[in-house]
Amino acid sequence: MPMDLPDDSNARTRLMELARARGVSLAALSAMIGRNAAYLQQFVRKGSPRKLEENDRRALAMFFGVDEGELGAVVAPGVMVSAPRAGRSEWVDIPRLALGASAGPGALAADEVADDRLRFSQRWLRTLGLDPAHLSVIEVAGDSMEPTLRDGDEILVDRSTRGWREGIHVVRIDDVLLVKRLAQGSAGTIRVISDNPAYATVERVLGDVAIVGRVVWKGGRI
Domain ranges of the chain: 6-71, 91-219
Of the candidates 26, 70, 24, 18, which has an alpha carbon nearest to the alpha carbon of residue 44?
Answer: 26
Topology adopted by domain 6-71:
434 Repressor (Amino-terminal Domain) (1.10.260)
Which amino acid type is present at position 125?
L
Topology adopted by domain 91-219:
Umud Fragment, subunit A (2.10.109)
Sign of the C-alpha dihedral computed for residues 28, 34, 37 and 43 taken in this order: negative
- What is the C-alpha radius of gyration for the chain, rounded to an integer number of angstroms? 20
Condensed to tens digits (0 to 9), the pLDDT of residues 146-187 reads 999 999 899 999 988 667 788 999 998 988 889 999 999 988
Report helix, strand or coil for 216: strand
In this structure, the number of other CB atoms found within 10 A of the CB of residue 141 comes to: 20
Condensed to tens digits (0 to 9), the pLDDT of residues 85-99 reads 444 457 888 888 766
Q: Which residues pair with 178 in a beta bridge?
A: 102, 171
